[in-house]
A and B are shown apart, each in its own frame.
Chain A
Amino acid sequence: MKLVIKQLLDGSCRLGQLTELGRHTGRVIDVPGCLMYTRGASAPHLTQDMAKTIDKLPFGIQLTLPTLAENHEVIEDYKLGIGSFTSQQDSLLFLSVQDPGTTIPSGYNEKQFVSIWTTGGRMRLSTATFTTMLKNMKPDWFECLYDGDVVPGTASKKRIRKSVDRTLQYLDDCLEVQQNSPELKNIEVFGVIEGGDSHDERIRSAKETAKRPLSGFVLDGFQSDALATDVKQNLMMSVLKELPEDKPRLIHGCGRPDQVMQAVELGIDVFDSAFPYSVTESGCALVFPFSYNHQSNVDSAVLEQSTDQEKSNYVNDNKAGISRYEINLTNESYKSDFTPLLADCKCYSCQNHTKAYINHLLVTKELLARVLLMIHNFHHYFEFFETIRQSIRDDKFQQLKKIIMDST
């Protein structure tokens, strides 16, 4: 895997492409970009025929190990790898150790093991188990095991140090196995940077990880809301300074549009798309505007043509802890709203259905509700990433950032 940087803004924000993607000759991933989040290797709620109606469906998908690990024995027996087993062989497959779509219980990692949580409960992964799974699954790209169980504010300095040490140890063990396993040779490896909210440990983790022969880096531990935004940004900046510029950086659990903009600005290249999934699970639809060519901000775009009733819902939604990036379709006021989730949206759901219909499906607990919301939310999110890239190309990144930040 190679990162080709095409444009650099303010010394850190990068526009580029990931190239030389192994078996996928001639294909590239545009960055900043996101991978498609999957569960059991399928887009949540979506069969492939429906997923393919989404315009800018990412070529790279994120396989989440906790949703697959229980089947590793079958996958071993199958022999052709997880891509073929799950009918996702045409995508670039990144395997993540944890599932960003769920909360991971704290206190279960050990020196030799990382815990993941499957349907059947806890599964302990040693380097040996993990690398065996890799040999059977044959993803194109994976991140090494890591101990990310350091909750900001509660983890002690000592625990944070331990997490950095363990993660480096897992990395070295894993790289050693890879060196001696021909079947793992062609898989791209990313190393994970830990360090919780400790500046020193973050820098140590980054410096040490950067010494290893890796294709790129993963920034973990930035998903928590317990960290203040400015603290997060400072930590991120310090970490990124220690990493080679010519290698891609992926971040976990940093998916809210404002967080994405800040991370892109600092030089993050790859994101996951667990955010639109969690929006879908709460019965919501993403409606934030990101058109920087028009004079729009969220207030004028969303509230302009709304009735008073809608305005008051909009405020109520926000009070209920839902970000201003989304509307809650379970809200009674959408019962007879015969407009699409988002005016001018080109997704299958908006082209064919109304808020009232989706409200009805949610109220009656019909499966189609989540299907339609997932299509729209993915579509909107993938368009957002396309617009981020375009804004860098057009030298309008700051305009876009203002629109997004003003929405919060």
Chain B
Amino acid sequence: MAASLKSTHALSFKILAECSTTKARTGKLKLPHHTVDTPVFMPVGTQGTMKGLTTKQLEDLDCQIILGNTYHLGMRPGHELLEKVGGLHKFMNWDRALLTDSGGFQMVSLLKLAEITEEGVKFQSPHDSKEMLLTPEKSIEIQNSIGADIMMQLDDVVHSTTTGPRVEEAMYRSIRWLDRCISANKRPTEQNLFPIVQGGLQPELRKICATEMVKRDTAGYAIGGLSGGEEKDHFWRMVKLSTDILPRDKPRYLMGVGYAVDLVVCSALGCDMYDCVFPTRTARFGCALLRTGQINIKSKQFAKDYRPIDDTCKCSTCARYTRAYINSIPNYETVGCHLLTIHNIAFQMSLMRSIRASIVEDRFPQFIKSFMKTVYPDEDYPTWVRESLASVDVHLSQQ
């Protein structure tokens, strides 16, 4: 039952259990710096730090792998400095696993002046206005300096709602850029390179892309170009279509997903890894995550609420502080933000632990049903949730 990968990749993926109903699986992803339990949520620490938390706190929270952003790190502190110090692990003193994106997404989303050609992404540096070019080779060079356990290929990013020939062009270009990235990787035995399945919301293009990429026999695969404001109905179909093609014995990383409902559904569709800025970003706006949904702790209604954020939560915030106290901390005092960030990461980690445990015990479908009932107590499940789960034989209405 367990499948182990024998190859030159810098990882091994061992599936420990598979759900007998859905496509979910739980496994151990052995990376150069840490062995990660999947399905896993990876918090985003953009600039070599996790939004005010120390690496000790991240370990205490059971974070096993976190993200760094190549675009930001390449700008500051710069890849020369990271090279000099021996990589981001050393620079930020993080012993566990790291994943870096390619930098392409930020180019296109942050920079108005980005221009994409076959060579790469041309953009103006926001720091000194110099014209710069991010090629697949350059992205990998920077990512090699950062030294993350998993690197992402540079892909040609189009907005998930884009239609027409641009989507096809971007998909084929992403395949060509993947090949350039693979050739450019100077540390293939220390760093894994994941391709990104593109193709927008067009099933045919996704199929071609996934099939082509599988031929490259990389260490794992990412599903990209989703979670950008497209219809959820399209979203889940693209995820399922991709996981149907991607090989069973390799990890599948669904990019940009972090809402609890999405994590549960997509795990049922066979995804293993997720990242999203949402839990940490929403914390900075005063929001705390709960199984029943999120609450804004800064709202007046919590001023005299002397319960912890979540009395079933085991995090250091919930063990010690009340909603009322966090509500009382003025916004400019950073402690309030730290307390919420801790809780929100703990929430994500705990959700993923529950998912994994229920897969091991082969009661994942029951878990899904009770989870969804908590989120939607009136059973007014969104159609996409109902349909996506039905596609893997979990029928919410039959509860």
Contact = CB atoms under 8 A, between A and B. Distances in A.
A335 B304 contact: no
B335 A47 contact: yes
Contact of A368 (B54, B84, B332, B339): B54
B91 A366 contact: no
A40 B330 contact: yes
A143 B325 CA distance: 24
A336 interface: yes
Given A40-B328, A49-B57, A357 B337 contact: no
Given A47-B335, A360-B76, A368 B49 contact: yes
B244 interface: no
B128 interface: no
B335 A42 contact: yes
B8 interface: no
A166 B46 CA distance: 54
Contacts of B60: 49
Contacts of B202: none
B334 interface: yes
B154 interface: no
Contacts of A50: 54, 56-57
Nearest to A48: B320
A49 B330 CA distance: 20
Interface in A325-355: 335-336, 338, 348, 352-354
A47 B325 contact: no
A352 B55 contact: yes
A47 B342 contact: yes
B245 interface: no
A77 B84 CA distance: 56
Contacts of B338: 45, 47, 367, 371
Given A50-B57, A336-B84, A356-B91, A45 B335 contact: yes
A44 B81 contact: no
A86 interface: yes
B302 to A, nearest CB: 10
A348 B56 contact: yes
Contacts of A47: 57, 316-317, 335, 338-339, 342
Given A348-B54, A363-B76, A42 B333 contact: yes
Nearest to B328: A71
A108 interface: no
Contact of A367 (B52, B57, B92): B52
Interface of B is mostly: helix
Interface string A61-105: 000000100110010011000000111000000000000000000
Nearest to B93: A352
Contacts of A43: 335
B306 A39 contact: no
Interface residues of B, number: 42
A161 interface: no
B77 A40 contact: no
A48 B318 CA distance: 12
Nearest to A118: B330
A367 B337 contact: yes
Contacts of B57: 47, 49-50
A379 interface: no
Contacts of A14: none
Contact of A87 (B50, B77, B81, B320): B320
B265 interface: no
Interface residues of A, number: 41
Nearest to A42: B335
A221 to B, nearest CB: 27
A335 B325 CA distance: 38
Given A50-B54, A87-B321, A45 B334 contact: yes
A48 B85 CA distance: 31
A318 B20 CA distance: 69
Nearest to B341: A367
A180 interface: no
A85 B324 contact: yes
A40 to B, nearest CB: 5
B316 to A, nearest CB: 5
B54 A371 contact: yes
A307 interface: no
Nearest to A75: B328
Interface in A360-376: 360-361, 363-364, 366-368, 370-372
Interface in B45-85: 47-57, 60, 72, 76-77, 81, 84-85
B303 interface: yes
Interface string A24-52: 00000000000000011011111111100
Nearest to B342: A47
B3 interface: no
Interface of A: 39-40, 42-50, 53, 67, 70-71, 74, 77-78, 85-87, 119, 335-336, 338, 348, 352-354, 356-357, 360-361, 363-364, 366-368, 370-372
Given A50-B57, A356-B85, A364-B76, 13 more contacts: A42-B335, A47-B316, A47-B338, A47-B339, A48-B316, A49-B316, A74-B328, A348-B56, A353-B93, A361-B49, A366-B49, A368-B49, A371-B52
